[in-house]
Amino acid sequence: MTIEIIVFIAAILFGIVAYWRESKNNKFYRLVNKITHSKELQMEADNPKGFLYLQPFLMRLVWITAGFLLGLILVMALTPINLFVVQYFVSAIVGTLAGTYIASAFFVTKEGLSKENLVEAVQKGRDFIEDLAEGKPEAEAEEAAETTPEAEAKAEPEPEAPKKSARERLKDKGMIN
């Protein structure tokens, strides 16, 4: 059980490092993409996607499992040690997958705390406080007294013409009979 915990923690750290490295440089993914895809289907030069970076859950799981399976086959072929590796294998896959999501959470947080976003948030806060300071209670009372039933009647929206149902719209398009 202790070795499984150590493998799990090491796999989380490995997932974080792998995600971070791939976010900086995805040359290996580009190489694999260039080898496996025709010229028309190859990824664009400015596409940052990698094996883990910007991939959905299922593709991350597939790439991580394939990588660890390849590593397991190499270790089993090179060493005569035959342990109960299934537990460690699953622990490493789950830990690496968790590590990639932890790293992506840090990247999202880092992007949210960029200088431009912080300046924009501070400016919005200043504008809100200025709006609150400008709104005097006396002026609000005067505005409330000035509203008359005629003004309220004008403020009510006019009823719109009844809209066609979804079935009628599909009939108009000729999609159903």
**CA 6 distance to own-chain centroid:** 29
d(CA 162, CA 168): 12
Question: Using 50, 70 and 90 to split pLDDT, how confident is the model at 164?
Answer: confident
- Residue for token digits 């699953």? 90
Report the pLDDT value the prediction gives residue 28, as an integer from 0 to 100.
Answer: 77
pLDDT tens for each residue of 97-150: 888 888 888 876 666 666 676 677 777 777 777 777 776 555 555 555 555 555
Q: Which of 47, 15, 17 is nearest to 29 (CA)?
A: 47
d(CA 78, CA 75): 5
d(CA 163, CA 165): 6
In the chain, where the domains are located: 2-115
d(CA 82, CA 85): 8
pLDDT tens for each residue of 17-37: 888 888 787 777 778 878 887
Model pTM greater than 0.75?
Answer: no
d(CA 61, CA 93): 8
Give percent above pLDDT 90 in the chain.
0
Average pLDDT, the chain: 76
Report the pLDDT value the prediction gives residue 24, as an integer from 0 to 100.
Answer: 80
